[in-house]
Amino acid sequence: MSSSNAELKRAIVDGLKHFVAFFILIGFVVTCNFALFFNFIQMSEAEIRKAAPITFINVLILTLLFCIIDITRRVWMVMRPVRRIRDGLDKVMAGDFSTQIQYIKGEDSDNEFDSIIKGINDMVAELAGVETLRTDFISNVSHEIKTPLTVIQNYAGMLQSPGLTEDQRKEYAKAIHDQTKKLSELITNILKLNRLENQQIYPDKKEYNLTEQICESLLLFEHTWEKKQIEIESDLQEDVYICQDAELLSLVWNNLFSNAFKFCKENGVVSIVVKKENDQVIVSVSDTGCGMNADTGKHIFEKFYQGDTSHATKGNGLGLALVKRVIDIVGGNISVQSVLGEGTTFTVILKES
């Protein structure tokens, strides 16, 4: 109420200022014209004095008319859009990110206010997305941390029970160990992703042997493929050199292999292809695992997304988000082909330099 009173007061003061300004302007113009006119037709002083009050009233009416026209123009063309923008911004400042300010003429008009409104609307939509991501991120992280913590708490409690056999003690200790490892991996991945997403990363490009790097990464999973008796098929073009950031790309291969071995069935096959085509390098990692349906395939690069199939296995849904971020940073491309129940192929295409 007090703010609308203040607005009214300001409008009246503004109106009066306008009135005085117009009055001086019109008065000056009309006086000059009349002075010239009277001088020209050589009227007597008495006649001029007689005509003066009528001229003054004319000037007053003209001033009022111009003043009303100008105020109406200002209210309609300036104050109305400004008020609409301000009301919209007030809502956004109060935390309502669903706000979209109504356009004055239309989204595509060349009205200056509409271009400001469009900018604000786009910014608010972007903020709404960021806000959703932030809240989703917090709830995902909390969930991912809470689950292993509950397991650790339960097993730690059981470890305290008297009369445990050696096997039970080992089993409970192993469960605690596995869950702490999972927690540590989760936090490492969050930190990596945070660094990749929030800092401007300038890839440290150096020429290196990609075939060698892929073999080294593959060997890290030797224990897993032996345990699951997975056959490895490789079609690696020898000594493919690439000028890229080796440390960033090792994240990609480690995650792709980790998933291939994780989702591959026992006695399955994991195939790796590395080849050079023109000035591009193509790396593909395939497995004869559980595969995924088209809907899962659409979301796998999102943070914390886990397909149904993965709930029975280890993971936190951050691996492929990291992979995608790295591929974007180095200017490459990643695609996935998968058939549910049959297997999956990830294909990475990188520029040679």
**Site for ligand ADP, rule CB under 6 A:** 255, 259-260, 263, 287, 289-292, 296, 300, 305-307, 309-310, 315-321, 344
Q: Residue 264 Cβ, how far from ligand ADP at the closest point, in Å?
A: 7
Nearer to ligand ADP, 92 or 292 (CB): 292
Q: Residue 201 Cβ, how far from ligand ADP at the closest point, in Å?
A: 19
Residue 68 corresponds to which amino acid?
I
Q: Residue 4 Cβ, how far from ligand ADP at the closest point, in Å?
A: 54
Q: For residue 337, give the H/E element and its range.
A: strand 333-339
Nearer to ligand ADP, 99 or 189 (CB): 189
Nearer to ligand ADP, 104 or 196 (CB): 196
Cβ–Cβ < 8 Å for 227, 267: no
Nearer to ligand ADP, 117 or 256 (CB): 256
Nearer to ligand ADP, 22 or 263 (CB): 263
Determine the Cα–Cα distance for residues 58 and 66; give it in Å rounded to an integer. Answer: 12
* 350: its two tokens: 């990188």
Q: Residue 321 Cβ, how far from ligand ADP at the closest point, in Å?
A: 6
Q: Residue 307 Cβ, how far from ligand ADP at the closest point, in Å?
A: 2
Nearer to ligand ADP, 322 or 350 (CB): 322
Determine the Cα–Cα distance for residues 75 and 14; give it in Å rounded to an integer. Answer: 12
Which residue is listed with tokens 């009416």? 61
Q: How far is Cα of residue 225 from the mean position of the Cα atoms in its chain? A: 38
Q: What's the number of CA atoms in the CB half-sphere (13 Å) around residue 220?
A: 15
Q: Residue 222 Cβ, how far from ligand ADP at the closest point, in Å?
A: 18
Residue 278's SS3 state is coil
Residue closest to 11 by CA, chosen among 59, 65, 80? 80
Residue 338's SS3 state is strand
In eight-state DSSP terms, residue 105 is: S
Longest dimension (CA), the chain: 129
Nearer to ligand ADP, 63 or 286 (CB): 286
* 67: its two tokens: 């003043």
Q: Residue 350 Cβ, how far from ligand ADP at the closest point, in Å?
A: 19
Residue closest to 353 by CA, chosen among 240, 216, 195? 240
Determine the Cα–Cα distance for residues 269 and 278; give it in Å rounded to an integer. Answer: 29
Per DSSP (E only), the strands in 200-305 are 206-209, 231-236, 241-244, 269-277, 280-287
Q: Residue 190 Cβ, how far from ligand ADP at the closest point, in Å?
A: 12
Q: 35 burial class (0-12, 13-18, 19+ CB within 10 angstroms)?
A: exposed
Q: Residue 159 Cβ, how far from ligand ADP at the closest point, in Å?
A: 28
Nearer to ligand ADP, 212 or 302 (CB): 302
Nearer to ligand ADP, 203 or 297 (CB): 297
* 320: its two tokens: 């492929």
